[in-house]
Structure 1
Amino acid sequence: MLYRDPTHAERELIDLVERGAKTPSGRTAVHLHLSQLMPAHRPPQYLRIAARLFAPMESDAGLRVFSMSNGDIMIIGRDMPEDEIDRMIQRIKSLFSHDPLTWSDADDEDGFDPFVTWYAFEVDLDELRQVIKGLLADAEKRRRDLLKAPPHAQDLTPEKLSGLLEGLGKINIRHHLRRQPCVRVMDRKAVILFEEIYTSMADLRKAVAPETDLFSARWLFQDFSRSLDRLVLTGLPRAEVVQAPKRISLNLNLETVETREYQVLRQVLGPKPVVLEVQLIDVFTNLAKFLKVRDQLRADGDAILIDSLTPAMLGALDMRQLDPDFVKIQWASDLAAPGHPGSGDELGDIVEALGGDRVILTRCDTELAITWGLTHGIYTFQGRFMDAILGTVSINTQPQLAGVSLRDFVRWRNAVDNATRHQCPHPQALDAVQEFASPPRRGRAARAPVTPSGTGGH
């Protein structure tokens, strides 16, 4: 089985340090101890994003950035722009602001910051060598463990991928699709801004890969998701929901926009705008493609959305440079906890600078999420709480739905396959309500009157 040698970065780092030791003047190493973060606070995508933040400095300042196999980051350079590096470190700290490791202040009396260590080659070379040897020893242990480990039955392999792709062709993909409205709160009413159509990966996995971890190999899963994109786009034209009043959003890979299947669906939709939802890590992986697709979508009257952000990520990254039409922030209940870094005015300032009409708060399962979002200048929401409000209003205002339970209504409305929708005694009632009385807006949100037809200020 092919694998990436866990010692590769450490060995390359040692080689660079030893070469730099011959001319140590002005050389510096900066060590970010991300491996010391609590496991729940350092998901792999965050570690990749943290490393990517330094990418512009590699060309502008001649730095070398190493992502260690344990998750740490090491930066090596000569005449390093220390103020700029320090500003970037503060942005990365905000990315991991949930973790106590980021709470220390380097300006305290002892000047100790457990999150980062600076080494000057002229003074700290021996200590730096010992640290890197320790990193290499740990990486070599991981390498030995990897070679000894028996193959995991759950891993996604090229052979299994071939079988999964064959299985995809045998299913009705519409059974595994769901939709969910994004609702914009205005001064006197709430309106559906667009309907997201997405794949229920839990259902799909049961159907085609019950014993396989689809996410165990990122690049193989990428191949799987490209095939899934094409299957979804092929199945959607026969789904009634694409004729619903509001525009739709689709979770797709960037390159899928250039496929024949996408163009066919685009023709079926006619003048109705489309919102393309992409993951931040995919944006960083191919920034040129993102910019090209963004501009192409806008030229066609469509929009692009960067998905799965957190308040910390929004604070660490300057989204104005990527200039998406929308961003989605994931709600978590601890955001409302007193003293949480996301509970202050900083997030409100960031939202206001980006534009409140661009920001969507998703995974809103309680009223608390809506209240928190409105307080921070966010007034577009998605989640089960909004589904329940829309369902309640629909049942209470349409006599033909008398006796229908809220649970059944939400299940029928969220379905994409026509058979499930037609379990509703009056399927046309599922999309009858497109606006309803909104909760009162407060705080920063009240400053920004919006219209439901906007596309993020463009």
Structure 2
Amino acid sequence: MTIENEQPLDPSTEILTALDHIKPTASSFKAIMFHTSKFTLFNREPKRIDFALEEATRIFSPIKGLVYKLKNHNLVCIIQRNAVISIERCISQLKRTLPADPILNEGHKKDGFYTVFDLGTQWEDFAEAVHEIENDPIYSSVKKQADGTTTQLITNGINLDTLANIEKILTNSNLLSYLRRQPIYWYDGKDKPRKIASHLFLSMQALQDSLAISDPIMANTWLFKHITTLLDKQTINFLPQLLSHNSIENIHANINLRSIVTPAFHKFLHNYNKDKPLSFCIDIVDYMAHPDVLEFAHDLLGQKNCRIIISSINAAHLAVIKLDKIPANVFKINWSPPIMERKDDLKALIKEIGAYRLILHRCETEQDIQAGLECGIEQFQGFGIDKILKKDTIE
């Protein structure tokens, strides 16, 4: 079986089918993985990746190469070994047609733009690399499930009158009536807990009472995202005032990814003088829905030394997502019995990325804190720390 005898496959969806087709005669082929997902943010825009796909298809078609776009926007080209034109010549031509980018720099001692696989000897390496990208849950259909729209809100039982009333109440309300603050502590089980940051968040109960709606906000993903996105603008406008408070040394603020791409946020960031450490907490479901936006946010916030914290991580997320691959600075894990059943995984994660990049959240008892300490965690958030502090004060 040879590729040229097959019907053309859709480059955006059929790479796994192509692998199945060529596997019996893999030794007859070579493959090139173009690491276009590593382009700078500007060059990673969808239209530019599509342009790269078109150019690669045009350049490799004379040697019957088939080009596919992977879900992370890398490109893959599969070519017969006996191609009449050298692969290197085609790669060089492709480089000349693409916009200037650091990864295309000929001066690199090791070319990071592409990897060539001889499928006769490197089939497993190539197939594993492709499957890892195509089957990664962060590129799955969860994106459609997490990005609420007005239509989806209505479909999920929230009518237009209710939406209009919610927006009216929130627009005319004072953010302070919903805003809460909880400290985050460093604690090693020996020395007294030391406060290292203040986490600002919205009280769902206060919102529920204010909006007077029967449906629990937290039970409706679309409604929750809609409400928190509406309030993000107020939070952004309020941040300069919070940063001026002497009692707050280090702020962690919740935000939706879609709010980071708004003019209001860009205006705030432009005026932010880095006078106090500032971190933004992004829900892991929001990240799973918009991994590309998180990359943009990471690049943008990094310009002002702001950190990204991925929050609301549970045991199910730990089972399928490699946290060390996410472009974030800190990961906030929600304490739960299932999380504690994965102690070995937590210990391995801490060994890999460092305890300073993990916060154990929702630690309500001293026992929760102790369980975290046994895993090697040193940063905690929840009432359990408060109880330890009160105990120390009494003693």
Q: Deviations over 1:268-310 (max 9, x none)?
A: 7851011100011211222222112112222212100000112
Q: Is 2:251 the counterpart of 1:252?
A: no
For 1:198 and 1:247, locate their aligned partners in 2 and report how far apart those are by CA, in whole Å.
Answer: 14
For 1:57 and 1:259, locate their aligned partners in 2 and report how far apart those are by CA, in whole Å.
Answer: 27
The one-letter code matched in structure 1 to 2:380 is F
**How big is the alpha-carbon RMSD for the aligned residues of Structure 1 and Structure 2?**
4.1
How much does 1:192 deviate? 1.5
How much does 1:354 deviate? 2.1
- Aligned mate of 1:287, from 284, 291, 315: 291
Matches within 5 A, 1:106-185: 155-185=157-187
Partner in structure 2 of residue 307 of structure 1: 311
The one-letter code matched in structure 1 to 2:303 is A
For 1:298 and 1:84, locate their aligned partners in 2 and report how far apart those are by CA, in whole Å.
Answer: 29
Q: 1:241 to 1:371 in 2, by over 3 A?
A: farther
The one-letter code matched in structure 2 to 1:248 is I
Q: 1:160 to 1:262 in 2, by over 3 A?
A: farther
Partner in structure 2 of residue 193 of structure 1: 196
Q: 1:56 to 1:245 in 2, by over 3 A?
A: closer
How much does 1:185 deviate? 1.8
Partner in structure 2 of residue 382 of structure 1: 381
SS in 1 for 2:193: strand
How much does 1:83 deviate? 7.0
How much does 1:156 deviate? 1.9
- Aligned mate of 1:320, from 324, 329, 333: 324
For 2:369 and 2:223, locate their aligned partners in 1 and report how far apart those are by CA, in whole Å.
Answer: 37
For 1:305 and 1:316, locate their aligned partners in 2 and report how far apart those are by CA, in whole Å.
Answer: 19
- Aligned mate of 1:333, from 306, 313, 337: 337
For 2:240 and 2:224, locate their aligned partners in 1 and report how far apart those are by CA, in whole Å.
Answer: 25
Q: Deviations over 1:379-422 (max 9, x none)?
A: 111111113334566x669xxxxxxxxxxxxxxxxxxxxxxxxx
How much does 1:320 deviate? 1.7
For 1:365 and 1:247, locate their aligned partners in 2 and report how far apart those are by CA, in whole Å.
Answer: 22
Q: Which has the higher contact order (CA 8 A, sep 6+)?
A: 1
Q: 1:315 to 1:215 in 2, by over 3 A?
A: closer
Q: Is the 8 A contact 2:185 2:385 kept in 1?
A: yes
For 1:359 and 1:240, locate their aligned partners in 2 and report how far apart those are by CA, in whole Å.
Answer: 24
Q: 1:307 to 1:274 in 2, by over 3 A?
A: same
For 1:225 and 1:85, locate their aligned partners in 2 and report how far apart those are by CA, in whole Å.
Answer: 36
SS in 2 for 1:197: strand
Q: Deviations over 1:310-354 (max 9, x none)?
A: 244224212222131100111113555xxx3x144x331122112
Unmatched segments (≥5 aa) in structure 1: 1-15, 28-53, 63-78, 93-150, 398-458
The one-letter code matched in structure 2 to 1:319 is L
The one-letter code matched in structure 1 to 2:331 is V
How much does 1:357 deviate? 0.9
Aligned residues: 270
**TM-score if structure 1 supplies the norm length?**
0.49
For 1:59 and 1:156, locate their aligned partners in 2 and report how far apart those are by CA, in whole Å.
Answer: 41
For 1:202 and 1:354, locate their aligned partners in 2 and report how far apart those are by CA, in whole Å.
Answer: 35
The one-letter code matched in structure 2 to 1:192 is K
For 1:26 and 1:268, locate their aligned partners in 2 and report how far apart those are by CA, in whole Å.
Answer: 54
Q: Is the 8 A contact 2:332 2:361 kept in 1?
A: yes
Q: Deviations over 1:59-90 (max 9, x none)?
A: 8799xxxxxxxxxxxxxxxx9999789989x9
Partner in structure 2 of residue 203 of structure 1: 206
SS in 2 for 1:275: strand
For 1:286 and 1:334, locate their aligned partners in 2 and report how far apart those are by CA, in whole Å.
Answer: 26
The one-letter code matched in structure 1 to 2:374 is T
SS in 2 for 1:171: coil
Partner in structure 2 of residue 273 of structure 1: 277
